C-alpha cells in the first residue's frame, strides 16, 4: 500500500479544506494517509486512526511508527515548507499548487522555486497556475478543486427546519460560506446590500486577515463560523449562492471549492468575474462595476431557473467530485512510480 505523508501544515480539525477532502478520497481508493497535524496550541502527542488507514499524527516523528513500512509520497501544499524537505525522506515529492503566490499569499513565494525544481510532479488547482508551472516543466497536471458531492447534494431539497440564526423573513436570501477575508469585494457587497434592503445577504465562515466583520447593515447577516457538518443546514435555504471575490492576481488563480459545493445542491451560483468562475458554464458572473444591475440580474436568474437547469448543475458537480479528482491523481502517481 502506498503511503502519502502530509507534513505539519494546517490543523486537520479547524476547517475542511482541499488536503482533507482529497486525501480522504485517495484513502478510499487504496492509499494510506498520514496527516501530520499542525496546531501549536495543542501539546498532546498522538497517532490515531480516524478512518481505516487514515492517520492523524501530532507531535510524533511519523518515520518511527510501524505503519510507515516504506518511504512515502511526500505531499507539499505550502511552498515555505520547502526548507524542511530534507527532514522528510520520500520516494516521490508532490507539490500541490493550491493558490497563486501573490497578494494575501505573497509570503508563499519563499520556497516556490525549490519546489518547482525538486518536485517529481506538480498538480495545480487552476488554469492560471497550470500555465505558470508548465512554463518551467512538463510534468504539471491540472487538478481543480472538487465537491464532497454526497454531502452537499443533501441540500438540494429542504430536509430540516430553518436554522434559528437565519433571517426570519421571506426575502430572497443570497448566501456565502467560506473565509470572511480581505479578498472578498466588500465595497461591492456594501453597494448591492444598500441598494436592495429587501434581500438577505448571509455570510458564514471564520475571519481571515480581518479583525471584525466589515459591514453593518440591517440586511447583512454574519452568522460566524459553523462546523462542516452543519453547512448544508444553511445551504438548503440559500436562493442564490454567492462568490463576491475581488479581481486580483491571487483570485485570478483561484478555483473555489465552494463553487462545486454550491452546485452539488443544484443552487444558482453568482460570482464576480474572476477567471475560474467565467470558465464554469454553470456559474453566472457579474462585474462589480455593474452593482446597479444586481437586482435585475438575480431576478432574471430566479425567473429563468428550472428543474432541468438544477439537475444539470447537480450533474456537473457530481462529475467534479473529489472521488474523480482522486482517480486523476492516482493515475499520475502510478505512472510516476511505475506501478500503473
Pairwise CA distance, residues 182 & 119, whole Å: 31
Torsions phi, psi for 24 (to 5 deg): -65, -40
User: C-alpha grid cell for residue 94?
Assistant: 508532490
What one-character DSSP code corresponds to residue 97? Answer: E
**Of 147, 152, 97, the residue nearest 122 (C-alpha):** 97
pLDDT at 184: 97
Q: 87: Cβ–Cβ under 8 A, 6 or more apart, which residues? A: none
Cell 472578498 locates to: 184
> Residue 238 and residue 148: Cα distance in Å, rounded?
18
Three cell numbers written together for 57: 499524527
Give the phi and the psi of residue 30 in degrees, each rounded to 5.
115, 5
Q: Which residue's entry shows cell 494510506?
A: 32
Cell 499520475 found at: 332
In this prediction, residue 202 carries a pLDDT of 98
Closest CA to 205 of 189, 221, 188: 221
Beta-carbon-side half-sphere exposure of residue 242 (alpha carbons within 13 Å): 31
Cα angle 115-96-82, degrees, rounded to a multiple of 5:
30
Give pLDDT, residue 14. Answer: 86
Q: pLDDT digit string (tens) for 259-273? A: 999 999 999 999 999
| Predicted pLDDT of residue 101 | 72
pLDDT of residue 105: 67
How high is the pLDDT of residue 102?
Answer: 66
Query: Could you tell me the CA-to-CA distances from 193 to 148, 218, 259, 322 in Å, in that order?
Result: 30, 9, 22, 34
Q: What is the pLDDT of residue 104?
A: 66
Residues 224, 205: Cα–Cα separation, whole Å: 5
Angle formed by the axes of helices 294-304 and 186-195, nearest 10° = 80
What are the C-alpha distances in Å from 33 to residues 123, 229, 266?
Answer: 18, 22, 32
Per-residue model confidence (pLDDT) at position 64: 85
Strands 199-204 and 220-222: parallel
pLDDT confidence of residue 100: 76
Within the chain, which residues score under 70 in pLDDT? Answer: 102-105, 340
What stretch of H or E contains 27?
Answer: helix 18-28
Long-range contacts of 59-62 (CB under 8 A, 24+ apart): 62/5, 62/34, 62/36
pTM of the model: 0.94
Cα angle: 9, vertex 90, 3; to 5 degrees: 75
Amino acid at each position: 500500500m502506498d503511503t502519502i505523508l502530509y507534513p505539519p501544515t494546517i490543523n486537520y480539525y479547524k476547517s475542511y479544506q482541499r488536503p482533507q477532502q482529497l486525501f480522504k478520497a485517495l484513502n478510499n481508493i487504496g492509499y494510506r494517509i498520514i496527516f501530520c497535524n499542525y496546531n501549536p496550541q495543542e501539546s498532546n502527542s498522538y497517532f490515531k486512526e480516524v478512518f481505516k488507514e487514515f492517520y492523524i499524527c501530532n507531535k510524533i516523528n511519523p518515520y518511527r511508527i510501524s505503519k510507515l513500512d516504506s518511504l512515502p509520497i511526500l505531499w507539499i501544499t505550502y511552498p515555505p515548507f520547502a526548507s524542511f524537505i530534507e527532514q522528510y525522506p520520500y520516494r516521490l515529492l508532490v507539490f500541490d499548487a493550491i493558490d497563486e503566490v501573490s497578494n494575501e499569499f505573497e509570503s508563499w513565494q519563499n520556497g516556490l522555486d525549490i519546489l518547482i525544481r525538486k518536485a517529481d510532479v506538480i498538480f495545480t488547482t487552476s488554469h492560471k497556475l497550470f500555465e505558470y508551472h508548465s512554463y518551467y516543466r512538463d510534468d504539471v497536471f491540472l487538478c481543480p478543486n472538487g465537491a464532497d458531492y454526497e454531502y452537499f447534494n443533501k441540500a438540494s431539497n429542504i430536509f430540516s427546519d430553518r436554522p434559528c440564526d437565519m433571517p426570519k423573513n421571506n426575502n430572497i436570501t443570497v448566501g456565502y460560506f467560506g473565509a470572511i477575508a480581505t479578498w472578498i469585494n466588500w465595497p461591492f457587497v456594501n453597494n448591492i446590500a444598500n441598494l436592495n434592503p429587501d434581500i438577505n445577504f448571509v455570510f458564514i465562515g471564520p475571519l481571515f486577515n480581518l479583525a471584525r466583520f466589515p459591514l453593518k447593515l440591517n440586511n447583512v447577516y454574519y452568522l460566524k463560523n459553523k462546523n462542516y457538518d452543519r453547512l448544508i443546514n444553511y445551504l438548503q435555504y440559500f436562493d442564490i449562492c454567492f462568490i463576491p471575490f475581488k479581481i486580483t492576481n491571487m483570485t485570478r488563480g483561484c478555483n473555489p471549492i465552494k463553487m462545486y459545493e454550491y452546485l452539488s445542491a443544484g443552487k444558482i451560483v453568482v460570482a464576480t468575474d474572476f477567471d475560474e468562475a467565467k470558465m464554469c458554464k454553470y456559474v453566472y458572473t457579474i462585474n462589480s462595476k455593474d452593482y446597479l444591475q444586481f437586482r435585475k440580474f438575480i431576478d432574471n436568474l430566479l425567473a429563468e431557473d428550472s428543474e432541468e437547469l438544477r439537475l444539470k448543475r447537480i450533474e456537473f458537480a457530481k462529475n467534479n467530485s473529489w472521488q474523480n479528482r482522486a482517480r486523476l491523481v492516482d493515475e499520475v502517481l502510478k505512472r510516476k512510480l511505475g506501478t500503473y
